[in-house]
Amino acid sequence: MAEKETEKRGLRLGDLALLIVLGVVGVLVAFWVLSFVAGIIWWFVKMAILVAVVGGVLYLLVGRRRR
């Protein structure tokens, strides 16, 4: 049996380009998902603040009428 010569080769140019593209796309998708989730959370926070402010104003108005 003849021994096969094994060469130690690094990444080919196509493999390297594919890894770079996948890395960039992965980072963009991650930022999009995180911004989407943060946007939803921020919307709930704004709604809670709005409900608290409206409730506080109504409480003050109704409380003054009863006195």
pLDDT, tens digit, 9 for 90 and up, residues 12-28: 888 899 999 999 999 99
Report if pTM > 0.85: no
As a whole number of Å, the end-to-end CA separation of the chain is 104
Domain membership of residue 32 (yes or no) is no
Q: Give residue 61's domain range.
A: 38-67
Domain membership of residue 42 (yes or no) is yes
Convert the pLDDT of each residue in 2-60 to its tens digit.
555 555 677 788 889 999 999 999 999 999 999 999 999 999 999 999 999 999 999 99
Domain membership of residue 6 (yes or no) is no
Sign of CA dihedral 43, 48, 51, 52: negative
Residue 56 CA to residue 51 CA, distance in Å, equals 8
Q: Give the pair of three-digit tokens for residue 31.
A: 């930022």
Domain membership of residue 44 (yes or no) is yes
Residue with tokens 């409380």: 63
Is the pLDDT confidence value at 66 over 60? yes
Domain membership of residue 11 (yes or no) is no
Domain membership of residue 67 (yes or no) is yes
Domain count of the chain? 1
Domain membership of residue 59 (yes or no) is yes
